[in-house]
Amino acid sequence: MIQVRQVSYRYDGGKAPALKNVTMEIREGEHVALIGPNGCGKTTLIKHFNALLAPGEGSVEVDGMDTRDRKSRGEIRRRVGMVFQNPDNQIVGVTVEEDVAFGPSNLGLPPAAIRERVDEALALVGMESFAQRAPHTLSGGEKRLVSIAGILAMDPRYIALDEPAAYLDPSSRDRVLAMIERLHRRGIAIIHITHDMNDLAGADRLLVMDRGAILLDGTPRDVFGRVEAMKDLGLHVPQVTLLMRRLRESGLDLKTDILTVDEACREIAKRIGSNGNGALSGSGPGGGA
Amino acid sequence: METGLFPVPVRGGARKMPGPGQWIAGESIVQRMDPRVKIASTVALSLFTFRAGWADACLISLLLLAVMRAARLEFARMLRVVRPLAWFAGLFFLLHLFFTDGTALWSLPALHIRITREGLFQGALVAWQFAALVLCGAVLSMTTTPSDLIGGLEKLMSPLKHLKVPTQELAVMAAMALRFVPAMRDEFDRIQTAQAARGADLEGGDLWGRAKAALSVAIPLMISAFRRADELAEAMEARGYHRGPRTALRELRLDGKDFAAMGFMMIFTAVLAISRLFVQP
């Protein structure tokens, strides 16, 4: 478990604190999505998880180890992997396999064990045929997968990803998101920073941050139910959720805590099925979205 | 011949053919040899080349040809490596040709020009030295992956650790430099395009204009390099990088062919030494 207790943090020369009295925890195997406007402290928060930043006030503990304790830093960084926003600046190897080997090399593993981990990690992200390629010849999505493999080779328990799907074309994006979901199913806790509300379908929990504080914390359904709060923050609610809300406002008895088009279809079909066609005949022009 | 070794890119980033002197994927005996043996042999051969007389030159040329053959490096490819330096070699050849004292072969007393036998030989030898040195280096860099080169150098320099030279850190630095050279080149292109898109005239103009244009690309490039370095340092730290001992993916181990190569180099050295005794006065 990662426990963040009353953490405040201020960058050198920063006027406003980047984090204000944040208390939260990440449980093992959880899939947490972290959203919020730019500059709200999301990245600052996840940098506290693996001791890249030490809290100014308060404390951060990873599986009981304090991140300010220098001796446990190595182990904390092994347990909490971090995938940064720009894959170009975190791939350090001359070839893909050497990059994946960077972490295990730092752990001081013998070459045979490193080889095993590298092969396993590359197979897990489906990049084994790229092992000998130079990083700059890869596409954006491939670079993302390589940087994830580099983290997986450390055998982490938690992985924090900073906008892993940003700047990707739709098919690469799906590939990366499916990868994240697969890691989650293997029991690795995922902390996923995103701006795209459509990336959230797999998350168990949603944290909304603004100006260095956590405003909302709950299941995605809970949080998106609070459309007004979200709007105040300038965050979008998924379009289907808005559609369902409008339909409800126009007098239909529909659930509004719906996040995907499939769910919406099912919900509407259910209404049609139970009440006959009459239930939807009153919707009028209100449903045109 | 070795197309199977080039993974087919899924999309984008088509794999470029290696440029002259760059590593070529392959499985020949020279390619599989331990980088330490290759580096040491290259250094030895370069030293011999510097001090070579005619007999040595013939022997070294034979050896180079044999190694190129064993490494399956085609002649045409090697020619492309040497060609850019042909100008220098030619210049040195001419200098020696015209400015060496000795028995005149041809002269034009009115212009104080004369060509001597010694000059001809000396010039040819210098031009050969040039070509041989370049080929030595090219064979090494074309048959050894950059990471093996770094790994081999690190191992060869490891005795310097006792003198407090941080050889491992140096190796990591060298690897980083290799990794980011292509990235910086892409960045350079991007900045140039961005500046051109905003109306900067990067091509024409007088000397002052050109200098300003160069600056308008160099400064953003430098800033981006610093930012990159910051992020890179953070990413390395996040992946557990620390000063001090670390291990490597590839373990360098000498086997039969490496010992054979070392033995061969020793015999070659002996032959050169003996030939020197007998052939040259």
Q: Measured between alpha carbons, how far is B144 from B31 in angstroms, rounded to an integer? A: 6
Task: List the single residue in B with minimal CA-CA distance to A101.
Answer: B249
Q: How far is B170 from chain A (nearest CA, A)?
A: 14
Q: Measured between alpha carbons, how far is A249 from A280 in angstroms, rounded to an integer? A: 13
Q: Measured between alpha carbons, how far is B92 from B126 in angstroms, rounded to an integer? A: 7
Single out the residue of A12, A85, A18, A28 nearest to residue A48, CA to CA. Answer: A18
Query: Which one of A29-33, A88-92, A258-262, B206-210 scores highest in mean pLDDT?
Result: A29-33
Q: Measured between alpha carbons, how far is A13 from A186 in angstroms, rounded to an integer? A: 41
Whether A90 and A84 have beta carbons less than 8 Å apart is answered as yes
Q: Measured between alpha carbons, how far is B264 from B42 in angstroms, rounded to an integer? A: 13
Q: How far is B14 from chain A (nearest CA, A)?
A: 7
Mark out chain B residues that contact chain A at CB-CB < 8 A: 5, 7, 9-13, 15-16, 25, 145-147, 150, 175-176, 178-179, 182-183, 186, 228, 231-232, 234-242, 245-251
Q: Do B249 and A82 touch (CB under 8 A)?
A: no
The pLDDT value given to residue B112: 75
Q: In this predicted complex, what is the ipTM?
A: 0.82
Looking at the DSSP assignment, which residues form a beta bridge with residue A214? A209
Tally of CA atoms within 13 A in the half-sphere of B259 that contains its CB = 4
Contacts (Cβ under 8 Å, ≥6 apart) of B76? none
Q: Do A94 and B146 touch (CB under 8 A)?
A: yes
| Other CB atoms within 10 Å distance of the CB of residue B97 | 21
With contacts defined as CB-CB under 8 Å, which chain A residues touch B237? 52, 77
> Domains, chain A, ranges and CATH?
2-225 (3.40.50.300), 239-287 (no CATH)
The pLDDT value given to residue B17: 64
Q: Which of A111, A150, A151 sits opposite B250 (nearest CB)?
A: A111
Q: What is the pLDDT of residues A59-118, one digit of tens each?
A: 999 999 999 998 999 999 999 999 998 888 889 988 899 999 999 999 999 999 999 999
Touching check for A94 and chain B: CB below 8 Å? yes
Segment among A124-133, A157-166, A177-186, B23-32 with least mean pLDDT: B23-32
Q: How far is B171 from chain A (nearest CA, A)?
A: 12
With contacts defined as CB-CB under 8 Å, which chain B residues touch A86? 231
When pLDDT is averaged across residues A108-129 and rounded to a whole number, the result is: 94
Q: Do A118 and B249 touch (CB under 8 A)?
A: yes
Among A11, A79, A95, A136, which would you mutate to test the B interface (most chain B Cβ atoms within 10 Å of its Cβ)?
Answer: A136
For Cα atoms A141, B6, B257, give the angle at the middle one, nearest 5 degrees: 125
Size of interface A-B (CB pairs under 8 A): 116
Q: Do A139 and B10 touch (CB under 8 A)?
A: yes
Structure tokens at A77: 């960084």
Q: What is the pLDDT of residues A234-248, one digit of tens each?
A: 777 777 888 888 888
When pLDDT is averaged across residues B14-29 and rounded to a whole number, the result is: 71
CA B164 to chain CA mean position, Å: 28
pTM of the model: 0.77
Domains of chain B by residue range: 28-144, 179-237
With contacts defined as CB-CB under 8 Å, which chain B residues touch A101? 248-249
Whether B96 and B123 have beta carbons less than 8 Å apart is answered as yes
Collapsing DSSP to helix, strand or coil, A212 comes out as: coil
